[in-house]
Each structure stands twice: as C-alpha cells, then as structure tokens.
Structure 1
Amino acid sequence: MATSGSRDFTLDVADIIEEAYERCGLELRTGYEADTARRSLNLMFADWANRGVNLWTVKLGTLSLVSGTATYALSDTIADLLEVVVRRSGTDFEVQRISRGEYQNQPNKTTTGRPSSFYFNRQTTPEINLWPTPENNTDELRYYYVQRIEDADSLVNDVDAPFRFLPCMAAGLAYYLAVKRSPDRVQLLKSIYEEEFQRAADEDEDRVPLKLTPSISYLRV
C-alpha cells in the first residue's frame, strides 16, 4: 500500500484538549471543561516562556531612532530581547546589553553618539533605553526578540507551535488537568511531560559549532 504523501499533520486546540483529557482517563463532556482546559493551555504557554528561548518565537524587529531620544516603548508582545545592533550607512554595530544598575550608574545619560549599550526594562509594556543617546534620525535599531506565544482563544484555533512540540503540549496539558481532575495521575503525567518537553527543547536549538577561546590575561610566566 502506498504511503500518504502528506506531511501536514497538526492538532487544533480542541484536539489537544481531547487528547489531554483522555490521558487523564477522562472524557470531555461540557463547555466548562473545555474552557478550563483552554485556560490551562494558555498558562502552560506562559510557563514555556519562563523555560528558555523557543526558536519559533524569535523574530526580527526594527526601530527608527530619533536624535536626542534615549527611551523607546516596545510592543507588549515582546517577552525579551536577544541580539541588538545599530545599522548606520549599511553597516551593523553591536549594541551590548547592560543591567538596570549599570544604566542607572551612567554619569551622563544625555551624552549623544552611536548607541553602544542598551537596558531592556521588562515592564508590562517593555522599554529599551539606549546609551549613548542617538545622535541622528538616520540610524536604525535592528533586534531579535522573543515573541509571546499566541493565545488559544478558540477551540478551532491552530496552536502557535511547530509540530515537534505537539507531543509535549498534549503531555503538559494532561498534567495541568490532572492537578485539577485526576490527582492520582499527577506524578506519572508530570514525569512524561518533563521528558517530552526536554526532548523537544533539546531539538529546538541552533546547530552551530562550539568555539572556546582561552583567556591568558592572568597567565604568569
């Protein structure tokens, strides 16, 4: 018999919820059970943001800089910033991340120039603070950022994750539901979930060679 030839298997929110309930030894019967499962799914997505960088959520953003303006409000869908550069006349210059304390201790925050450092203020509506303060209106800030995973607002929504995360998504939601409905299965489902998540997270990384540069700054001869 011939193979299917298709490679588009996915699950929508309703499918994930049904699979999770079955793993709990339960059957989805009421609208409330669907709503509480959808809420748990969104809470799990929030937890995934705390577990590290999920590559499919990394996006490229740009920001036109304004002379004399050091602080810029960013979208509330941005969970974190990764690499940041200033593009000037077609050339990119690295902008290094600094802490709140390091930014606060800058003696003259009104100094103008090409920004070389930034402080990311992780508020509900995040802000980026640049130093030195931009000196022209032609530089562009280009940054990779971590975007929030899209909410599961409806049962017919597709989930905002690649297919390789579907197993740990179903396992994770089953664990979350077991806490509410099947306490006798909590430990088993938690163990399965953590194993599935670790496997997916290990796969979800850049495949680049590791380079180690020895430091000889303290070498004594």
Structure 2
Amino acid sequence: FERIGLQNVAGYQLKSARRSLNILFQEWGNRGIHYWEIDELDLDLIEGQAEYDFFRSSDDGTSATSTPNGVYGISDVLEAQLRSNRTQTTQSDSPMTKVDRSTYAGFSNKLSKGTPNQYWIERFIDKVRVHVYPTPDSSNASKDMHFYYIKRIQDVGDYTNATDVPFRFVPCMTAGLAFYLAQKFQPQLTQQMKLYYEDELARALAEDGS
C-alpha cells in the first residue's frame, strides 16, 4: 500500500490485498515455468490401467499411489521415463514421449497392453489426469512412471503465513501486488506500477534456473 500512497489501511483493504496476491500467483502460472515449483515422483503403474488422477487437494479426492505418497496440486508434467528397479543399483530409465490430445485420441485401443512409452496430460479444474499408452502388461506392472511435474503456487492463506516464493522473487511479488492494488485504489498509478512490476519480474525470471 505504501507504493501507491495509501496509509491507515483498514480490514477490507487487507482482504483485498490477499485476494490480489492470490490472483498474482495464478497469473505467474500463465507466465511459464517457475523452477522452485518443480518436483518429481514415481507413479506406481497398474497392469491394464490407462488413467491416473492427481487432485488439486485432498478435499477433491485421493491421488494415485506414488512415491512420495499424497502428492497434490500438480499443474502439469514436464517429462517422464519408465523406470525399472527403482530402489536398486540396477535402476534403469526408458524415455516416454509426451503427446497431445489429438495424437492420444488417434490410438485405436487405449487399453492395449505392452511397454508404456507415451503419455498425455489432461488438465481439469480440480485434478490432473495422466493417460499412459500402452497400458502396462504383466512384465511392466512392477515398474514406475518417473516424472517431473510443476506444482501450483500455494495460496496466501492466513495473514501470518510465509509466501510460497523464493527470496529472489520477493521484489517482483511486491511490485506485482502494488500494480494490482493500484487498479483498485489508485487507477492513475496503474501504468507506472505495471512498468515497475514487469521490470522486476523480467529480472527474477532471467535469474531463475533449472
């Protein structure tokens, strides 16, 4: 609020700022990959099963069995491998190809069994569904689908919570919040705050690595 010249902030303005910060984090998801939100897991494949769901939160449903367990909030899958002997020194990965909806729709029998080598990610409001093709046969059901995924940035929640961003993104988060608040409370400053925000965000993204 200081950046847009407001003092003596009331309760309504604090609630408005929290809403704006949540929207800002959602907007970052549309900007591209933020590497601090990338994680990995091993999905337990089941013979003949083509679909595996990962929910937004435990309130929406129970995610598919994986290591680690209880994975929620997946936004997208970046890359995947078929992994055998996960816990052994003989561990081996085979690459799996990510396909689009049209390619997956063209498979004549989506329940055919074999060695999984392709996958399609279907994104819903409350979950992400991983489609595997072909489905694992008996010799591949003991293997895992190892993949890297993007997590959703956590909502702000309580006022005392720490934000789910690394320190290098704090300047652009602050500038972005000022930009969003200017639209509501100081419209004449909107363009100026937007320039500050875009400048800070560009620097943070340039520094962010894999």
| Residue of structure 2 in register with 1:97 after alignment | 98
Name the aligned partner's letter for residue 82 of structure 1.
L
Deviation, 1:200, is: 0.3
Give the 5 Å matches for 1:1-221.
21-76=1-56, 77-89=73-85, 90-124=91-125, 125-136=127-138, 137-206=141-210
Which consecutive segments of 4 or more residues in structure 1 shift more than 2 A? none
Query: Would you say how many aligned residue pairs link Structure 1 and Structure 2?
Result: 186
Q: Which segments of 5 or more consecutive residues in structure 1 lack a partner in the other structure?
A: 1-20, 207-221
SS state at 1:158 partner: coil
Deviation at 1:83, TM superposition (A): 1.2
**Percent same amino acid among aligned pairs?**
38
- Residues 28 and 34 in structure 1, CA contact (< 8 A), matched pair in contact too: no
Q: Which residue of 1 aligns with 2:68?
A: none
CA contact (8 A) 1:40 1:173 kept: yes
Q: Aligned-pair distance for 1:28?
A: 4.6
- Looking at structure 2, the residues matched to 183 and 109 of structure 1 have their Cα atoms a distance apart, in angstroms, of 53
**Alpha-carbon distance in structure 2 between the residues aligned to 1:27 and 1:112:** 65
Q: Distance in 2 between matches of 1:126 and 1:47?
A: 19
CA distance in 2, matches of 1:84, 1:163: 29
**Is there any run of 5+ residues in structure 2 with no aligned partner, and where?**
57-72, 86-90
**Letter paired with 1:202:** A
CA RMSD of aligned residues (A): 1.0
Structure 2 letter corresponding to 1:139: K
Q: Retained in 2: the 8 A contact 1:113–1:133?
A: yes
Alpha-carbon displacement from aligned partner over 1:183-213 (angstroms, at most 9, x marks no partner): 111011000100100110111123xxxxxxx
TM-score relative to the length of structure 1: 0.82
